[in-house]
Amino acid sequence: MDNIRLMDRLDSKFVAPVALLPKLLELMMPLFRIQIIDNNRIANYATQYLDTPTLDFYRMHRNGKLNRQKIRIRTYVDSNKSFLEVKNKNNKGRTVKKRVSVSFPRIYDSNELDGNRAFLDKHSLFDASRLVPALENAFQRMTFVNDRASERITIDINLAFQGLLHSVRNDDLADDSGLLHSVRNDEDGRSPSLRGTKQSNDSLQDANFPITTSLQGTDLSTTSLRGTKQSNLNNLMIIELKQDGRQHSDFRNILTDMRIKPVSFSKYCIGTYLTNEEVRGNRFKYKYHIINKLINQQYAAI
């Protein structure tokens, strides 16, 4: 699967009700193969996002900057592998990701990043000593690739967030003087420990599998969203199309036929907006309303 990770790529994101997933997979079957690891077609992921105490990465996105960055620790739970990643998006919409393997799924203090100082000094916009844990998420992912290996599709379900910052807003969190005070949650406020088993198989197979079995036990109940330290979007699926260039896409045609339209969706920014009511996010209120609309209706065109 490494040869189709597309670390330098063009991304398009889509959001739709998870109830549409069986139909989507049915249409994908003739054209795409699915990644299978240890006989599992759905993989468990966990992420810890790092930011400055004044949430500069969040603000870059909120303020509409075309050149922006995220720093995260991404953990592939089933294989117990973690990577420190710096993800940049430029003003041409291209995403470039740099990463290095790490032995930890999360940090509690910036000093724990000292062993990766050279990597961060080279790629981060901010000094590593300023970085603090800001948000964690967990989700399940299905990964697909077309026969030409020119596009990669991920479908994320059961997305849940845990806010890590208690915030005191000073002048809308827009004051660059750094007066936002942040502390981590108590021990029992951290997300559950990551569990993993050694990865023994990574293969691609045709996308002909019964998704109804894989989704058994999924909580599809409507969840109160904003203003709590924890939030989940179990009723939604987050779809991402990753390409090595602008070209014809059979997958995009499928989504068009299903009336699933592209929408900008940042897990970090949406998760921060949902779990931290102290931050302003006029840019995300529209997406927040889209999420509510999709959750409370069987389907609504975006």
- Catalogue the E-assigned strands of 22-131: 32-37, 43-51, 68-76, 81-89, 94-102
Contact 107, 16 (CB under 8 A): no
Strand 230-233 relative to strand 151-163: parallel, antiparallel, unpaired?
antiparallel
Q: By C-alpha distance, which of 5, 77, 13 is closest to 48?
A: 77
pTM of the complete model: 0.78
Who wins on pLDDT, 166 or 78?
Answer: 78
Who wins on pLDDT, 215 or 235?
Answer: 235
Residue 5, pLDDT score: 54
The pLDDT-based confidence of 230 (bands split at 50, 70, 90) is confident
Who wins on pLDDT, 66 or 201?
Answer: 66
The pLDDT-based confidence of 24 (bands split at 50, 70, 90) is very high
Who wins on pLDDT, 18 or 90?
Answer: 18
Which of 65-74, 150-159, 207-216, 272-281 shows the lowest per-residue confidence on average (mean pLDDT)?
207-216
Q: By C-alpha distance, which of 164, 139, 138, 160 is closest to 55?
A: 164
Residue 122, pLDDT score: 95
d(CA 153, CA 251): 8
Mean pLDDT confidence for 161-175? 60
The pLDDT-based confidence of 175 (bands split at 50, 70, 90) is very low
Angle at 126 between CA 125 and CA 128, to 5 degrees: 125
3-state SS assignment for residue 291: helix
Residue 192, pLDDT score: 32
